[in-house]
Amino acid sequence: MKNPLEITERTKVNRLSNRANYDREVIYQILDEAKICHISFIYEGKPVVIPTSYGRKDHLLYIHGALNSRMLVEMEKGIDISLSVTLIDGLVLARSAFHHSMNYRSVVIFDQARLLSDFEEKKEALRIITNHLVPARWEECREINRGEIEGTKVLTISIEEASAKIRTGGPKDAKPDYQLPIWAGVIPCKMQYGEFVEDSEQHQDAVTPESVKNFYL
Amino acid sequence: MKNPLEITERTKVNRLSNRANYDREVIYQILDEAKICHISFIYEGKPVVIPTSYGRKDHLLYIHGALNSRMLVEMEKGIDISLSVTLIDGLVLARSAFHHSMNYRSVVIFDQARLLSDFEEKKEALRIITNHLVPARWEECREINRGEIEGTKVLTISIEEASAKIRTGGPKDAKPDYQLPIWAGVIPCKMQYGEFVEDSEQHQDAVTPESVKNFYL
């Protein structure tokens, strides 16, 4: 582990700790591959979890939304949040139901979000979020205007109190079960990006952009 | 909407409420298609969100884990939880960065989980969770034994205070932007299940089971 995060009481993986990973680069890779996160916060004393898109640059995650988004209005108060990102890599079929599992890569982060107020910082965060969806897309878009930036709430979350948990490989059955003629194996999973569908109101001079072409490479 | 859930203060979708759906069957379909959920609960006064597998039968979700799982030990106390399941269906590229979006189907549920103690009820829940991974797999496995059932904690969550949120279709740009020769469209996404990988210690008499063959149909 070249660049590990400090392990805290909350990020210490208790169960199946051999699956734990605190390496910054490993955590970043998972965050960069996934498209959505689930954010948890306390609202009127009760937990709420909401999916949302995001972007990452260095040790910061950015999320955004409407000015009146309930989640963002709560989060800008600096309350505690927890954020998770999960990639499913395989369905693991063992000889026993008990040992069925999944291969996955997940990250859990704890922090308090901070509201961005600086105009240029917000603009840069929106670029990062847009380019997280499809790299280099921002640069092809109609330039964002002041009203759009002012009409969007942007918050940032630090990737500091964070851990990854990763399972790979085949099923692990109890030793006697290997003598049974029951099939065992893994069904690999990954997000598949299908052929793009052009907008029905496409401008006649619009051509397939580099960002979209490169997305499939 | 044939069989709607009652809308509560918490499940009422405030933002983009045209995307809200309270139909029981719609919610069930999303839960049945996804493989993992994210569960949020409060631990020592702070929110925690954790991914986990599950299964559904009728209006009940089942989750399971080790007896000493921190999440389950907390949740069996009957604390409030929030659970979310999200399927990503497309990356939506608009002419403006501002209108970039995703097509998705998500469900959010609020409840308190209940610990199952009845042996047969637990066994049935474990069958449902196993068959959520790959339908009809449970029936092919080595029969589960008493120690495995007693060594697993199973909780159930009601799908009552719940809502779905769904976005479909192409980008929606501001009217003047349709005059710009900027490409717009959707990159469809879905979970792809690749060709299975047999266990390296496969029994010589093991044959590809019906559950796995049917999984790809």
Question: A48-87 pLDDT, tens per residue?
Answer: 999 999 999 999 999 999 999 889 999 999 999 999 999 9
Dump the DSSP string for B8-35.
-TTTS--TTGGGEE-BHHHHHHHHHH-S
pLDDT band at A1 (very low <50, low <70, confident <90, very high): low
pLDDT at B195: 97
Q: Give the pTM.
A: 0.95
pLDDT band at B4 (very low <50, low <70, confident <90, very high): confident
Question: Does A120 contact B at CB distance below 8 Å?
Answer: no
Instruction: Give B127's contacts in chain A (Cβ within 8 Å).
Output: 97
Q: Is the sign of the CA dihedral B107, B191, B53, A12 positive or negative? A: negative
Mutating which of A49, A74, A201 best tests the B interface, going by the most B Cβ atoms within 10 A?
A: A49
Instruction: Give B183's contacts in chain A (Cβ within 8 Å).
Output: 140, 198, 202, 206-209, 212
Question: Does B212 contact A at CB distance below 8 Å?
Answer: yes
pLDDT at B1: 59
Q: Chain centroid to CA B22: how far?
A: 16
Instruction: Give B53's contacts in chain A (Cβ within 8 Å).
Output: 102
Interface of A with B in 126-155 (CB under 8 A): 126-127, 130, 133-134, 137-138, 140-142, 144, 148, 152
Of A102, A196, A200, which is closest to B35 when you measure between CB atoms? Answer: A102
Q: Which of B121, B1, B3, B108 is nearest to B57 (CA)?
A: B121
pLDDT band at B2 (very low <50, low <70, confident <90, very high): low
Give the whole-angstrom CA distance, residue B94 versus residue B103: 12
How many beta-carbon pairs below 8 A join chains A and B? 294
CB A98 within 8 A of CB A88: no
Q: Is the pLDDT of residue A137 over 90?
A: yes
* Structure tokens belonging to residue A152: 């969007």
Tell me what the mean pLDDT of segment B151-180 comes to.
Answer: 97
Instruction: Give B95's contacts in chain A (Cβ within 8 Å).
Output: 141-142
Q: Give the largest CA-CA distance in chain B.
A: 68
Q: Is the pLDDT of residue B131 over 90?
A: yes
User: Per-residue pLDDT tens for B7-50?
Assistant: 888 888 777 778 889 999 999 999 999 999 999 999 999 999 99
Cβ contact (<8 Å) for B187 and A193?
Answer: yes
Q: Is the pLDDT of residue B86 over 90?
A: yes
Give the whole-number percent of chain B exceeding pLDDT 70. Answer: 99
Q: Is the pLDDT of residue A35 over 70?
A: yes
Give the whole-angstrom CA distance, residue A63 versus residue A209: 25
- What ipTM score was computed for the predicted complex, to two decimals? 0.95
Cβ contact (<8 Å) for A84 and B38?
Answer: yes
Mutating which of A14, A168, A183 best tests the B interface, going by the most B Cβ atoms within 10 A?
A: A183
Tell me what the mean pLDDT of segment B178-195 comes to.
Answer: 97
Tell me what the mean pLDDT of segment A30-43 comes to.
Answer: 97
Q: Is the pLDDT of residue A11 over 80?
A: yes
pLDDT band at A174 (very low <50, low <70, confident <90, very high): very high
Q: Is the pLDDT of residue A107 over 70?
A: yes
pLDDT at A4: 83
Question: Does B75 contact A at CB distance below 8 Å?
Answer: no
Cβ contact (<8 Å) for A102 and B53?
Answer: yes
State the DSSP H helix or E strand holding residue A210, giving kind and residue range, or none if neither: helix A210-215
pLDDT at A2: 66
Q: How far lies A65's CA from each of A2, A38, A80, B64, B165, in Å?
A: 35, 14, 18, 34, 16
Question: Does B23 contact A at CB distance below 8 Å?
Answer: no
Q: Name the region of B15 (left: φ>0; alpha: ψ -120 to 50; beta: rest).
A: beta
A82 by Cβ neighbours in 10 Å (0-12 / 13-18 / 19+) ranks as buried
Tell me what the mean pLDDT of segment A178-193 comes to.
Answer: 97
Tell me the nearest-neighbour CA distance from B6 into chain A, angstroms. Answer: 18
* Single-letter amino acid code for the residue at B136: A
Instruction: Give A183's contacts in chain B (Cβ within 8 Å).
Output: 140, 198, 202, 206-209, 212
CB A186 within 8 A of CB B197: yes
Cβ contact (<8 Å) for B192 and A189?
Answer: yes
Q: Which of A85, A51, A86, A83 is nearest to A156 (CA)?
A: A83
Question: Does B217 contact A at CB distance below 8 Å?
Answer: no
Mutating which of A19, A35, A40, A146 best tests the B interface, going by the most B Cβ atoms within 10 A?
A: A40
Cβ contact (<8 Å) for A68 and B15?
Answer: yes
